[in-house]
């Protein structure tokens, strides 16, 4: 009987160290642990999980490193938000979640929930023009434009705003471009700015899929649906059924799954714009031919200035 009791206590002790069964696993290799912990610090700071430090700089002018307490608190926020076992350490499930493809916009601001936009910061127009200035390597131009048109149509049905494609980027209210992203955050595949004069930026080098199943690919339609939400003023939330969930949908998602704007996002939109009265028919813009606009536009270089919620600046841009 004694040996059985000792065995039980030993098993419980091991479970206490490792966390809840099937949910937690510490990275035991010291070198790997240092690397993933460093990456986690960058991730948590970039996407707003770190609290504002008491002193942002030390005497020699260098930025102060977050304390162990700050890191643990930020990790607990992240784990709670994504329904991961709250270990407070960079364990395997936490590291895996941080490596999923995601939007580059922030989830929080200094550990606090992001504030909603005011009425003065949202669109006043009832017709918004959009334009694509560059394209991905994994899809044709017609496929890309069709994905954009379909995503805008889903928002038109609930926002009371009409979206029209234009061949003139200078006239566009929302400019979409596929850019070369830096390798700093390998998991960031897209991002967008707030109203007005909005930008949607996607990583050109990613494998984008539309109406097809591609291993390791990202659904362009669902990503555009998400990023258009940002251009209308919506922020990230952690409801898994929301299109504004920070993690992007894979191209393996069956077409027709989450193929519209979920109710939770309709409610968020109504808080900003009121109850919409969408037009019965979609307006048709100047779609006669391919865009003659340049593949790159200078306005993309101002992403960091336009939108403080965006955690990433594409390669070659200047803040």
Please give the positions annotated as active site: 227
- Return the sign of the alpha-carbon dihedral for residues 44, 37, 251, 240: negative
Tell me: is residue 213 an annotated ligand-binding position.
no
236 labelled binding-site residue: yes
Taking the CA atoms of residue 302, residue 303, residue 304 and residue 310 in that order, the dihedral angle to the nearest 10 degrees is 180
226 annotated to bind ligand: yes
- 157 in helix, strand or coil? helix
Tokens of 281: 């028919």
- Which two three-digit tokens encode residue 224? 């555009």
Residue count of the chain? 319
The token duo for 167 is 């061949």
For 192, the 3-state DSSP assignment is strand
Flag whether 286 is marked binding: no
149 known member of a binding site: no
Please, how many CA atoms are within 13 Å of residue 15, restricted to the half-sphere of its CB? 9
173 marked as part of a ligand binding site:
yes
Give the CA-trace dihedral at 78, 79, 83, 87, to 10 degrees.
-170
Is 203 annotated to bind a ligand? Reply is yes
Q: What is the 3-state secondary structure (H, E, C) of 91-143?
A: EHHHHHHHCCCEECECCEECCEECCCCCHHHCCCCCEEEEEECCCCCCCCHHH
Six token digits for residue 270: 């109504």
As annotated, the binding site for Ca(2+) includes 173, 203
As annotated, the binding site includes 103, 173, 203, 226, 230, 236, 244
As annotated, the binding site for Zn(2+) includes 103, 226, 230, 236, 244
């Amino acid at each position: 009987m004694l040996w059985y009791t000792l065995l039980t206590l030993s098993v419980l002790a091991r479970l206490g160290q490792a966390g809840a069964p099937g949910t937690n696993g510490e990275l035991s290799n010291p070198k790997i642990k240092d690397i993933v912990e460093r990456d986690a610090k960058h991730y948590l700071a970039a996407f707003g999980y770190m609290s504002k430090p008491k002193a942002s700089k030390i005497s020699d002018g260098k930025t102060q490193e977050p304390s162990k307490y700050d890191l643990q608190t930020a990790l607990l926020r992240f784990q709670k938000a994504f329904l991961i076992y709250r270990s407070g350490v960079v364990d395997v499930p936490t590291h895996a979640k941080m490596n999923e493809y995601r939007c580059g916009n922030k989830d929080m601001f200094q550990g606090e929930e992001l504030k909603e936009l005011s009425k003065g910061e949202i669109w006043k127009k009832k017709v918004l023009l959009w334009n694509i200035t560059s394209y991905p390597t994994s899809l044709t131009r017609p496929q890309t434009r069709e994905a954009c048109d379909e995503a805008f149509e889903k928002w038109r049905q609930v926002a009371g705003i009409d979206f029209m494609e234009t061949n003139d980027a200078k006239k566009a209210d929302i400019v979409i471009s596929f850019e070369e992203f830096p390798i700093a955050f390998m998991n960031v595949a897209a991002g967008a700015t707030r109203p007005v004069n909005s930008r949607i930026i996607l990583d050109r080098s990613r494998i984008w899929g539309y109406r097809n199943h591609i291993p390791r690919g990202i659904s362009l339609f669902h990503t555009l649906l998400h990023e258009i939400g940002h251009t209308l003023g919506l922020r990230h939330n952690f409801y898994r059924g929301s299109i504004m969930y920070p993690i992007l949908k894979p191209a393996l998602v069956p077409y027709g799954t989450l193929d519209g704007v979920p109710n939770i996002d309709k409610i968020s939109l109504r808080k900003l714009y009121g109850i919409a009265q969408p037009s019965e028919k979609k307006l048709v813009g100047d779609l006669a031919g391919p865009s003659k606009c340049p593949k790159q536009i200078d306005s993309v270089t101002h992403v960091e200035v336009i939108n403080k919620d965006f955690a990433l600046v594409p390669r070659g841009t200047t803040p």
